[in-house]
Amino acid sequence: MEILPNKAEIKVNVSSEIGRLNAVLLHRPGIEIERMTPQNASEALYSDILSKQIVDQEYANFCGVFEKCTKVYYVKDVLQWILENDDLCYSLVTQSCHAEGADYLVDELMQHDAATLATELIEGFPYRKGIDPESFEQRRFVLRPLYNLFFTRDASSSMYDRVLINSMSFDVRVRENLIFKAIFKHYFKAPIFNAREWHPSARTEGGDVQIGRPDLLCIGQGIRTNAKGIEFLVDEFKGRPKFNIIVQELPMHPESFIHLDMVYTFLDRDRCMMYKPMLDKTYEFAGKSTTWIEIDNGKVRKHDCRNMLEALKKVGMEMEPVFCGGDDVWVQQREQWHSGANFFSLAPGKVIGYRRNIHTIEALDKAGFSVLAAEDVSNGTVNIDDYNRCVVTFPASELPRAGGGARCMTMPVNRDEVFL
């Protein structure tokens, strides 16, 4: 097999959640999101169907900020580049068809050019009556559309100088793993590792994985990341002289608590966004545990903590919280539901999130974060570097209904090191 050159001009390196972003992997939502119906939305892990016309407008403001602030790679472009290589193409097509029980389709797809094939692998391959097995007729697609692909965070996690290929909890997202594995292995030339290969029942997802610093991971344990997946991460880092993993147990329902980044994200060296009931252990978080796992020269010790802020303090990170939704518990619940705690850091103290969560944005304003409009950043009239701390807000009504926010839609590839 020919060795593909590393077309990426940058290597994977992410040692915190807040270091200045040098490169990011995004995916513009495509026709795949219009291939949901009320009948299959639940299978696609959505609670509603989306309008692509509105999504396109909202996402343009979102990705416009990144294109102004950093190097942006788009999944479809990189995937097409990979598919130009016959051997890699055959491998990815074979694995994709096998995952859908459609091995018979491999030879036909291999006749398609790379651009067509990239589209089919993302947007789906429709069922053809009289040609494809009738077993595919009810779902209308032989290869199901990747409805969730624009949530580039979940299928993989840039973890220091390598990439964790996450083991997804739902079959509808398994093909995303195959695409991201190919991208990081063959385009970015990054070392990769995988929980599922360690144990078939281990589950991890990127929304539950946050890198606090070079010796600290914060992990959510809930419906998407399980105890076996956390055991895998402990085993993976057990060889380090000193390492810490803080595990926050999450509610198993409702769906707005699927990942840790729906209730907690880092904003700066000493600031975080938090859903207050998680801190107080009230409402949905009553009885949910917070555990500090201390790794010291191969020895593993577990410590129960009152909450995540106490656990962070025990490992030397004193964080001051800004509360999602402000001070009112009803407003907190409303804004958390639409990803009010889900922020992404472009640089220390410079974050991006949904404008619709007005009480959360007001709380950030009071905490010293200048409120900027995504439209002004993307057109160049405002520069985030002119501000010590800022929150870039972008308008969104459809995107939040998909069940994720700014962090969910971003896969950081490289960040500057940051002193914590």
Give the model confidence (pLDDT) of 111-150 as tens digits. Answer: 999 999 999 999 999 999 999 999 999 999 999 999 999 9
Residue 8 has pLDDT above 80, yes or no: no
3-class state of residue 58 by DSSP: helix
Residue 232 has pLDDT above 50, yes or no: yes
**Range with lowest mean pLDDT among 7-21, 302-316, 369-383, 403-417:** 7-21
State the pLDDT confidence band at 3, using cuts at 50, 70 and 90: very low
Angle, helices 86-99/75-83, rounded to nearest 10 degrees: 110
Residue 360 has pLDDT above 80, yes or no: yes
Asked if 205 contacts 225 with a C-beta cutoff of 8 angstroms, the reply is: yes
Average the pLDDT over 61-87 and give the result.
97
Sheet of 71-74, strands arranged across:
71-74, 21-26, 411-415
419 token code pair: 């002193």
Q: Please tell me the predicted confidence (pLDDT) of residue 7.
A: 61
State the pLDDT confidence band at 270, using cuts at 50, 70 and 90: very high
Q: Please tell me the predicted confidence (pLDDT) of residue 99.
A: 95
Identify the residue with better confidence: 217 or 1.
Answer: 217
Amino acid letter at 235? D
State the pLDDT confidence band at 6, using cuts at 50, 70 and 90: low
Q: What residue ranges do the domains of the chain occupy? A: 156-415
pLDDT in tens, 205-227: 999 999 999 999 999 999 999 99
CATH architecture type of domain 156-415: 5-stranded Propeller (3.75)
Residue 228: count of CB within 10 angstroms of its CB:
16
Sheet of 290-296, strands arranged across:
209-213, 216-221, 242-249, 290-296, 299-305
pLDDT in tens, 24-40: 999 999 999 999 888 88
